Each structure stands twice: as structure tokens, then as C-alpha cells.
């Protein structure tokens, strides 16, 4: 049974859909990563008197909301369609970012960040499912990767705007910028965003989840959860605490924020190159290899090296962490057939987002305990080792499932 908006998607409509989804992912990335950019200002805000552990906890609230939002939206988008859930999520997180900008206390800031997380979590599963289903079959990983590169580009935007606006304008202005989709992307999505032509409405959400939790699929789902957990812990742990860690290592605020900018530039390169390689060789070994590269680059950051070398290592770390998360999303989407793709993306990334909650909190605890740059990156490198094993061990779909998945995703069954 198809949705009311379902119709064949022309190349032009597909391009418009990818562009709108890209814009949403840019703001999704901006709104999440801007928090790491404003942590120094929040800690310096005397009226609130936040400790590093408290700032880390507030950073985790949005990500906890994403845990709920991703799981709920994943099942709902398989039942009601990609378009409806996408627009609703976009409106919701934009309103909550405006509320966060006006928050009069740390408690309310944390509440609005949590509520915004419900919308943040809803954007990736719906956008990925839609893009994977409207993109040309032979290039779905790279098109999906291009769209998801909006996330680190949003991080780059957050870092650049923080460099320019944080000291003169304050953290509230940076939060308010995250509400711009209300007057930009939402009208465009209402007018031009198509529904996926291959969208299949699920009869019951529990039935879809059961398909992911039985037999060989259950092992794959569990390993995808672990891979997402590790990936998100690295992404949000580094994006939240890297500026403060570099300040602790002796860098001025501007240089510390520059490391965050370089991290996200590396993520763009890693996401695009990793996705292009995944179209050719399959996602399994590309995702595994990027995790291994993360281990090496993070481990080397602990050494006393020249600034130029440290910037290069941070660039590589961005490619191998945030960039790899783009590859992992495509890995999950290509592994499952259309009817349960959104549910699989929502479930694996939603539960995996507990890693996104853990990263900022863990960094805050380590900082409060006096653990410096070397100790933090050592912990993150250990997490990347676990992620590499999880990606490598995902079982291939059973023969019939593999054929279905390959046909619907336009990728080899081994992806």
C-alpha cells in the first residue's frame, strides 16, 4: 500500500529531494555541534557557574532526546512515509533551538536541548531512507554520502560562526541561528519534497521490529548498534570537548576552535571518499578500515608533536570518525530491504545514540578528574577498536534477504 504522495520521482525531483535533505542535515549538524563550540562560553558564564561535568551533561541531553527521536521516527517513517516525518522533525527541532537560545537557566537549556533532540534524531533516518530510494541505483552510497556530508559541514559552519560571533555576541545568538530552517527549508520541503517511490507502509510497527530481532538479522542489528554506539561516542565526544582539551594543552581559544574546524573538514573528506569507495567495494571493509585509521590518528594525538602535525592528525581523525559515521549509515541502509529500512536505521542509530550521550558525559567526567588530552584520546582510540570489530563481524544477509536488499538498495549484497 503506498502513500498518498507516492509517485515516480524524476531526476530533477530526486535532485531537489537530495538538496533539501542536505540542507536539513547541515542544520542538524550545526545545531548539535554548535554546543561544543559554545562550551567555553558556557563555562565562563558567571551567572550560571557551570562545572565541566554539568556542561557535559547538558550536552548529553540533546543526544538522549535523539535516542528517543531516532527510534520513534524510524518506525513511523516506515509506516507513514518519509516526507511527513521529515517535515515534522525539521519544524520541531527548529522551534526548540529558538527556545534554547532564550533559556533563562541551565535547567531549561537542558530541557530544550533534550526536546530538540527528538527532532534531531528524526532527521537522519528519514533523510537517508528517502535519498537511498530516489538516488540512481549505482551511485546511492555516494549520493547518500554527499547528503550526509551536510552534518560535518554544519560542524564547520558552527566552528566558523563561533570564531566570529562567540566572543562579541554570546552563545544565545549561535543557538538562535539553528532556528533558520523554519523560514528556509520548511517552506521548500512543503512545496517540493517528494515521497519515496518505493516507500512501503508497514502494517504494524512491532512486526517490523521483530523482523530485525530474529535469526541472522538479530546479530546484524546488534552489531550495527555497537558500531553506531562507538561511532557516535567518537563524533560527539570529540566535537564537544576537543576545543576545551586543546585549550588545556596550551592553545588559545581561537586556535582551539580551529582544531574543531579542521576536525569537521576532515569529516567531509572522509565521508565523501569513504562513500565513493563503499559504492565500489562495499561498506564492510571501508567502515572497518576507517575505524582502524581512527585508532592510529587518535593514538598519535597523545604524543608531543608540532602544531602542524597535530592539525593533520585531527583532520585524519575527523575523516575516520564523523566521516566514517556517514559510511556506517549507508552500510545499514544498504543491508536491509526497503520495507524495514527506516526501522533498521532508526533502531540501530537510535540505540547507538546512547554513545552520543556517553561521549560528552565521559569527556566531562575525564576533564573533571584532571585527565588531559592524552588520556582522553586514549579512551576514544579504545572505543574505535571495538567499532572496527563490530563492522567487520556483521553477517551477510541470508540468500533471499541479500537478493532483496541488493535489488532495493542498488548495491551488492556484500555491502
- Along the 415 residues of the chain, how does pLDDT read in single tens digits? 334 444 456 788 889 999 999 999 999 889 877 888 888 889 888 889 888 888 888 887 887 888 889 888 887 887 777 888 899 999 999 999 999 999 999 999 999 999 998 998 889 889 998 898 888 877 888 999 999 988 888 888 888 898 899 888 888 999 999 999 999 999 999 999 888 776 644 444 556 667 777 778 889 999 999 999 999 999 888 887 887 777 777 777 667 778 888 888 898 899 999 999 998 898 999 999 999 999 999 988 878 788 888 899 999 999 999 999 999 999 998 888 877 888 888 889 888 888 877 888 888 888 788 777 778 888 999 999 999 999 999 998 764 444 444 444 444 444 5
With beta carbons less than 8 A apart as the criterion, state whether 294 and 381 touch. Answer: yes
Rounded to whole angstroms, the Cα distance separating 187 from 83 reads: 13
The residues near 312 (Cβ < 8 Å, ≥ 6 apart) are none
- Alpha-carbon distance of 324 to 194, in angstroms, equals 28
Quote the pLDDT of residue 393.
Answer: 95
**Domain boundaries of the chain, sorted by first residue:** 11-409
| Chain centroid to CA 41 | 24
**Cβ 82 vs Cβ 4: under 8 Å:** no
At the topology level of CATH, where does 11-409 sit? Answer: Growth Hormone; Chain: A; (1.20.1250)
CB 232 within 8 A of CB 321: no
Confidence (pLDDT) at 412: 43
**Which residues 6+ apart lie within 8 Å of 164 measured at CB?**
none
167-183 per-residue burial string, b: 16 or more CB within 10 A, e: under 16: eeeebeebbebbbbbee
Q: What angle do CA 30, 149, 177 make, to 5 degrees?
A: 20
Helices (H), 81-180: 82-101, 106-134, 140-148, 150-169, 171-177
Of 230, 218, 243, the closest CA to residue 398 belongs to 218
Burial string for 211-220 (b: 16+ CB within 10 Å, else e) reads bbeeeebeeb
Amino acid at each position: 500500500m503506498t502513500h498518498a504522495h507516492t509517485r515516480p520521482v524524476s531526476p530533477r525531483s530526486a535532485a531537489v529531494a537530495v538538496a533539501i535533505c542536505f540542507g536539513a542535515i547541515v542544520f542538524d549538524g550545526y545545531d548539535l555541534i554548535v554546543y561544543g563550540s559554545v562550551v567555553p562560553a558556557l563555562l565562563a558564564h558567571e551567572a550560571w557557574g557551570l562545572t565541566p561535568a554539568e556542561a557535559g551533561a547538558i550536552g548529553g541531553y540533546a543526544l538522549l532526546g535523539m535516542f528517543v527521536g531516532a527510534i520513534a521516527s524510524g518506525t513511523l517513517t516506515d509506516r507513514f512515509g518519509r516526507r511527513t516525518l521529515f517535515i515534522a522533525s525539521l519544524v520541531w527541532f527548529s522551534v526548540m533551538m529558538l527556545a534554547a537560545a532564550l533559556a533563562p537557566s541551565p535547567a531549561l537549556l537542558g530541557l530544550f536541548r533534550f526536546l530538540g533532540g527528538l527532532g534531531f534524531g528524526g532527521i537522519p533516518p528519514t533523510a537517508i531512507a528517502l535519498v537511498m530510494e530516489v538516488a540512481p541505483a549505482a551511485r546511492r552510497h555516494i549520493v547518500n554520502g554527499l547528503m550526509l556530508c551536510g552534518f560535518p559541514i554544519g560542524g564547520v559552519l558552527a566552528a566558523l560562526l563561533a570564531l566570529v560571533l562567540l566572543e562579541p555576541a554570546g552563545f544565545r545568538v549561535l543557538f538562535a541561528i539553528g532556528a533558520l530552517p523554519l523560514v528556509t527549508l520548511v517552506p521548500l520541503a512543503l512545496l517540493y519534497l517528494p515521497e519515496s517511490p518505493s516507500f512501503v507502509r508497514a502494517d504494524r510497527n512491532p512486526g517490523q521490529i521483530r523482523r530485525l530481532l530474529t535469526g541472522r538479522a538479530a546479530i546484524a542489528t546488534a552489531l550495527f548498534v555497537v558500531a553506531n554506539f562507538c561511532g557516535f561516542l567518537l563524533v560527539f565526544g570529540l566535537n564537544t570537548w576537543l576545543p576545551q582539551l586543546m585549550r588545556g594543552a596550551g592553545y588559545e581559544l581561537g586556535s582551539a576552535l580551529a582544531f574543531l574546524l579542521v576536525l569537521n573538514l576532515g569529516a567531509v573528506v572522509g565521508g565523501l571518499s569513504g562513500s565513493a569507495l563503499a559504492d565500489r567495494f562495499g561498506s564492510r571493509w571501508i567502515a572497518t578500515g576507517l575505524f582502524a585509521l581512527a585508532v592510529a590518528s587518535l593514538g598519535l594525538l597523545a604524543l608531543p608533536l608540532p602544531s602542524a602535525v597535530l592539525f593533520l592528525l585531527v583532520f585524519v581523525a575527523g575523516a575516520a570518525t564523523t566521516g566514517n559515521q556517514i559510511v556506517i549509515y549507508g552500510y545499514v541502509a544498504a543491508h536491509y530491504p526497503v520495507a524495514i529500512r527506516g526501522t533498521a536505521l532508526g533502531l540501530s542509530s537510535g540505540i547507538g545514540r546512547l554513545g552520543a550521550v556517553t561521549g560528552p558525559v565521559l569527556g566531562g567526567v575525564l576533564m573533571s578528574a584532571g585527565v588531559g588530552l592524552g588520556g582522553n584520546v586514549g579512551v576514544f582510540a579504545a572505543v574505535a577498536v571495538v567499532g572496527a570489530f563490530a563492522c567487520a563481524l556483521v553477517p551477510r544477509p541470508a540468500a533471499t534477504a541479500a537478493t532483496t536488499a541488493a535489488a532495493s538498495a542498488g548495491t551488492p549484497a556484500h555491502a
